[in-house]
């Protein structure tokens, strides 16, 4: 009798547990801006991985717009409405900003358990650890100063990856003569900034880059070197087609994939588009550094912050973080995304040719102290906006001389500093 009673109680407990579990399926919502073909393919790897662990993947988390410009607005609204997602794609110094505003949950316990301090490269730790606390999960490392080229066009015209900027000009002329667009580009400020900072790195080297764009050092910003950077930009401007304004980066990539354009200067999320189109590195496309930047490694890490959540979501957030740091997951995800894993213990044999190069260049740059986080997520957002504006104005309107652009850059940054947060639009070019 007693035994039967216990069994019945157990049965009741079990069924009520199951019905609770049934009523509230584990779910996870991740906000990001990965909507291009390659990006969607990568986020799908994460979705499937979470689903295989019993999670319902909540849709509606992706916001169109390369580089995350739109997401920054949407997330503010979600936070103000007290309906934050469980996790969000967040980069660079925005992590500090969110931490200071008490919006992110602390991942110290998980990081200790999984030994993140040992496996995550130092420069990435500096980004995701705020006041020695782990506040975000780095899922990858993107390198920004690549050139992606259509191999068929290169082979047909007997050209090889240029080693210097003047070689880049020479091959571009050849490409143009043969009827192709040398450079596919989209006129959006964050894309223009990719060309700009590749040029800064190429003309000035990594120490100059840091001085000018990260430390915002006045002498560097006002130098002859900076003038040469804008000269390079002017030359790049002559390599693009006239319909470039507002073109999304992935549509520029499609021009290279479909043999309309020969090259694109862009981060390695471009590789995701090639992979999605069934193309292979060194067979269908080439990947090489923007000439003059060899040996350096400017990077962007896509990191995810877990937003402060009701207690019942904390376990889900931790499962998400554990999944994102998992070695096999990272290999699969980053193959689709175009980036390299954020772990130091990856077997390079598991990577394709471009990723293999990137991974070994990154490790070498770590040794040589030539790996640096890109400026756009490394400086306060006001300064970032000003630099973006000046560069875009110069590049898109194409009516200033390099001297004028240097003057605008300095004037706009100075003006802003003096007026504390107020961005003056009175000067043409800010
Ligand atoms: C970058 C991001 C990449 C890629 C790119 C274009 O900021 O790090 O993952 O998505 O924007 O959308």
Proportion of the chain above pLDDT 90, given as a percent: 81
Q: Which of 31, 33, 36 to mutate to test the pocket of ligand 1 (most atoms within 8 A of CB)?
A: 33
Q: How far apart are CA 123 and CA 378, in angstroms?
A: 12
Tokens of 182: 């040398």
Q: What is the pLDDT of residue 140?
A: 98
Is the pLDDT confidence value at 247 over 70? Answer: yes
For 179-219, where are the E strands, in sequence order? 181-183
User: DSSP character for 260?
Assistant: S
277-319 pLDDT, tens per residue?
999 999 999 999 999 999 999 999 999 999 998 778 899 999 9
Is the pLDDT confidence value at 15 over 70? Answer: no
Q: How far is the CA of 407 from the centre of ligand 1 (A)?
A: 30
Q: How far is the CA of 67 from the centre of ligand 1 (A)?
A: 5
Q: What is the pLDDT of residue 399?
A: 94
- Beta strands 261-266 and 181-183 are parallel
Burial class (CB in 10 A: 0-12, 13-18, 19+), 217: middle
Q: What is the pLDDT of residue 298?
A: 98
Residue 339 · residue 268 · CB < 8 Å? yes
Q: Which of 43, 64, 67 to mutate to test the pocket of ligand 1 (most atoms within 8 A of CB)?
A: 67
Is the pLDDT confidence value at 225 over 60? Answer: yes
Is the pLDDT confidence value at 182 over 60? Answer: yes
Residue 250: CB partners within 8 Å, gap ≥ 6?
Answer: 36, 37, 38, 66, 273
Ligand 1 contact via 33 beta carbon (within 6 Å): yes
Q: What is the mean pLDDT of the segment spanning 141-158?
A: 98
Is the pLDDT confidence value at 13 over 50? Answer: no
Q: Which atom of ligand 1 is found nearest the CA of 39?
A: 10
Burial class (CB in 10 A: 0-12, 13-18, 19+), 187: middle
74-126 pLDDT, tens per residue?
888 888 888 889 999 999 999 999 999 999 999 999 999 999 999 999 999 99
Q: What is the pLDDT of residue 301?
A: 97
Is the pLDDT confidence value at 11 over 50? Answer: no
Burial class (CB in 10 A: 0-12, 13-18, 19+), 329: middle
Q: How far apart are CA 378 and CA 383, in angstroms?
A: 10
Among the listed residues 36, 44, 24, 111, the one whose alpha carbon sits nearest the alpha carbon of residue 68: 36
Is the pLDDT confidence value at 5 over 50? Answer: no
User: Band of the pLDDT at 177, cuts 50, 70, 90?
Assistant: very high
Is the pLDDT confidence value at 378 over 60? Answer: yes
- Lowest-confidence region among 61-65, 229-233, 261-265: 61-65
Q: What is the pLDDT of residue 417?
A: 64
Q: What is the pLDDT of residue 60?
A: 61
Q: How far apart are CA 99 and CA 135, in angstroms?
A: 7
Q: How far apart are CA 317 and CA 323, in angstroms?
A: 10
Residue 46 · residue 323 · CB < 8 Å? yes
Tokens of 391: 């560069």
Ligand 1 contact via 94 beta carbon (within 6 Å): no
User: Band of the pLDDT at 419, cuts 50, 70, 90?
Assistant: low
Burial class (CB in 10 A: 0-12, 13-18, 19+), 322: middle
Q: How far apart are CA 30 and CA 317, in angstroms?
A: 10
Buried/exposed code over 227-248 (b: 16+ C-beta within 10 A; e: otherwise): bbbbbbbbebbebbbeebeebb
Is the pLDDT confidence value at 14 over 50? Answer: no
Q: What is this structure's pTM?
A: 0.92
Residue 315 · residue 109 · CB < 8 Å? no
Is the pLDDT confidence value at 251 over 80? Answer: yes
Burial class (CB in 10 A: 0-12, 13-18, 19+), 406: buried
Closest CA to ligand 1's atom 11? 67
Q: How far is the CA of 66 from the centre of ligand 1 (A)?
A: 6
Q: How far is the CA of 92 from the centre of ligand 1 (A)?
A: 12
Ligand 1 contact via 121 beta carbon (within 6 Å): no
Q: How far is CA 64 from CA 38, 170, 303, 367, 420, in A?
A: 13, 36, 18, 37, 32
Residue 309 · residue 319 · CB < 8 Å? no
């Amino acid at each position: 009798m007693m035994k039967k009673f216990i069994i019945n109680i157990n049965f009741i407990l079990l069924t009520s547990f199951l019905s609770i579990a049934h009523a509230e399926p584990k779910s996870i919502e991740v906000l990001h801006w990965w909507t291009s073909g390659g990006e969607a393919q990568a986020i799908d790897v994460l979705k499937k991985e979470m689903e295989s662990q019993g999670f319902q993947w909540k849709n509606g988390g992706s916001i169109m717009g390369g580089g995350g410009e739109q997401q920054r607005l949407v997330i503010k609204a979600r936070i103000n409405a007290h309906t934050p997602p469980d996790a969000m794609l967040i980069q660079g110094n925005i992590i500090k900003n969110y931490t200071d505003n008490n919006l992110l949950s602390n991942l110290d316990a998980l990081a200790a358990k999984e030994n993140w301090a040992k496996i995550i490269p130092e420069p990435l730790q500096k980004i995701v650890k705020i006041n020695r606390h782990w506040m975000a999960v780095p899922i990858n490392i993107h390198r920004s100063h690549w050139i992606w080229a259509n191999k068929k066009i290169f082979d047909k015209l007997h050209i090889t990856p240029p080693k210097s900027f003047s070689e880049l000009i020479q091959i571009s002329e050849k490409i143009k003569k043969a009827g192709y667009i040398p450079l596919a580009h989209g006129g959006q400020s964050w894309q223009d900034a990719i060309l700009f900072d590749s040029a800064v790195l190429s003309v000035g080297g990594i120490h100059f880059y840091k001085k000018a764009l990260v430390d915002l050092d006045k002498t560097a910003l006002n130098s002859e070197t900076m003038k040469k950077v804008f000269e390079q930009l002017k030359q790049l401007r002559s390599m693009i087609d006239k319909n470039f304004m507002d073109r999304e980066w992935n549509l520029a990539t499609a021009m290279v994939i479909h043999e309309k354009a020969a090259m694109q200067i862009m981060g390695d999320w471009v590789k995701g588009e090639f992979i999605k189109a069934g193309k292979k590195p060194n067979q269908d496309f080439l990947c090489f550094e923007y000439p003059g930047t060899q040996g350096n490694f400017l990077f962007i890490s896509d990191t995810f912050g877990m937003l402060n959540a009701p207690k019942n979501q904390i376990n889900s957030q931790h499962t998400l973080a554990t999944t994102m740091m998992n070695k096999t997951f990272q290999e699969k995800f980053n193959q689709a995304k175009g980036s390299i894993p954020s772990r130091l213990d990856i077997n390079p044999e598991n990577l394709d040719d471009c990723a293999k190069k990137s991974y070994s260049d990154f490790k070498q740059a770590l040794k040589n102290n030539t790996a640096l986080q890109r400026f756009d997520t490394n400086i306060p957002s006001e300064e970032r906006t000003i630099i973006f504006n000046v560069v875009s104005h110069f590049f898109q309107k194409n009516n200033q001389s390099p001297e004028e652009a240097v003057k605008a850059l300095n004037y706009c940054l100075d003006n802003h500093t003096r007026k504390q947060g107020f961005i003056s639009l009175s000067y043409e070019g800010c």
